[in-house]
Structure 1
């Protein structure tokens, strides 16, 4: 079950990443992801982009459950790449302030703060509750939906941003 959930979440992020980011992956050489593994190419791609990382022992551990904080870190890395590709667009800053549930020294703080500050999570996000609980398909779906909504809200022009010229005097035919 957890293996399926992990790969489902991983492949969902990989699919979006591969569609948005430029190509250029190189072999990563993970001991536990042989070249003929069905996800090997996708794993290599996200590792090459810096969205996911392996472990110091040379493994990827794709068969292990992923916690909500691990998903948050991966999502934050991915959203930074997305924002980089949208750097020419004006981004709005969310008007909501949500507390980050960990101290600044925590390994996930920087990435959680990024997701909060950029509007990619809401105050009811599963990423901000039960941090070490393994993710399931519902969690992955909810998190990806919130991130996509946040992205759309951040980069969509609002009526307040439009500059409409003032109307001149009415036209009269005499």
Structure 2
């Protein structure tokens, strides 16, 4: 036997690899190559080693829905509310999965470029359309309600309150007559809210009161009076009073609009316009007046008719007629009121100044 020198322990480590070691290295590289090939063969061709290298699963949208518990859908799902993607690290490569419900979007800082906008749009549309649909359903429920709707009552004509004239007291003898006519717009006051009940009335003013009080169709004719201008404020009222038969002019086409009208003329005009029937014994009717002899002859029949129909109002003494006295605004209002009672337009008023025939 030949003596060999002892083997150097350091040189033994630098010897060539054995067969077994070569096989192990080959298998290791083959395994790594398979992993790389598997990663590149995925749909998004992205590298994701979290599922292979990490011993714990990382929450990612690449997990198939079959491995997750089926969440219960809620109609008011709000994106990024109570979502665990805000606290856990998100994978840079995420597979888009279309589950049965609308998935929650990723972290707003790193939104997924593959998340379609159409998945969120229906939620916004539903929320904005909900109040409209509720309003329509409420409206349709009202229209289809079987209960009968309450129809408004027929509008009735209401009479406004009378004008509170500052010179007509509550205990004034003609106050109630004035109130009835003022509430219907038949008579009016002055700009200072006064009525001036003791002021005389001229013929033009009386024609204006008649126009407001009576609606009567007359002969369609117009008399051109010499003393009434065509552009006068009283021209329409005078023409109406002439056509309806309440007033007449004087000879030679004179009307005398500024002339103060007397008490007898007021009653003659009212009886003529209403066409009241004359009583059988006029002189007997007029015998109740202490001054019956002062009544003009042309007016005896008309005044007897006015007395029999309750148109005469004498203040302060009902037995004194005073036919030629200028009629005041209060007296004209009271007599026109009594004429409206005859037509049925106003109710009767109890007054001790109304002349009544003995029974």
Which one has a bigger Cα radius of gyration? 2
- Say yes or no: does 1:110 pair with 2:295: no
Gaps of 5+ in 2: 1-195, 349-359
Question: How many residues are aligned here?
Answer: 139
> Which residue of 210, 221, 230 corresponds with 1:13?
210
Larger displacement relative to structure 2 (116-125 or 4-13): 116-125
Gaps of 5+ in 1: 85-92, 157-174
Shift of 1:111: 0.7
User: Aligned pair in 2 of structure 1 residues 75, 12: CA closer, same or farther (>3 Å)?
Assistant: same
Query: Of the two structures, which has the highest relative contact order with CA contacts closer than 8 Å and spacing of 6 or more?
Result: 1
Q: Which residue of 2 aligns with 1:71?
A: 266
Q: Which residue of 2 aligns with 1:99?
A: 285
User: Aligned pair in 2 of structure 1 residues 34, 25: CA closer, same or farther (>3 Å)?
Assistant: farther
Query: 1:127, 1:30 → 2: CA distance?
Result: 38
**What is the root-mean-square deviation of aligned Cα atoms in Å?**
3.7
> Which residue of 314, 332, 335 corresponds with 1:143?
335
TM-score by length of structure 2 reads 0.33
User: Aligned pair in 2 of structure 1 residues 105, 42: CA closer, same or farther (>3 Å)?
Assistant: closer
Shift of 1:123: 6.8
**Between structures 1 and 2, the one with greater helix share:** 1
Shift of 1:28: 0.2
TM-score by length of structure 1 reads 0.64
| Cα contact 1:115–1:121 (8 A) shared by 2 | yes
SS at match of 2:285: coil
User: Aligned pair in 2 of structure 1 residues 51, 107: CA closer, same or farther (>3 Å)?
Assistant: same
User: Aligned pair in 2 of structure 1 residues 113, 58: CA closer, same or farther (>3 Å)?
Assistant: same
| Cα contact 2:313–2:334 (8 A) shared by 1 | no
Larger displacement relative to structure 2 (119-128 or 138-147): 119-128
> Which residue of 324, 333, 351 corresponds with 1:132?
324
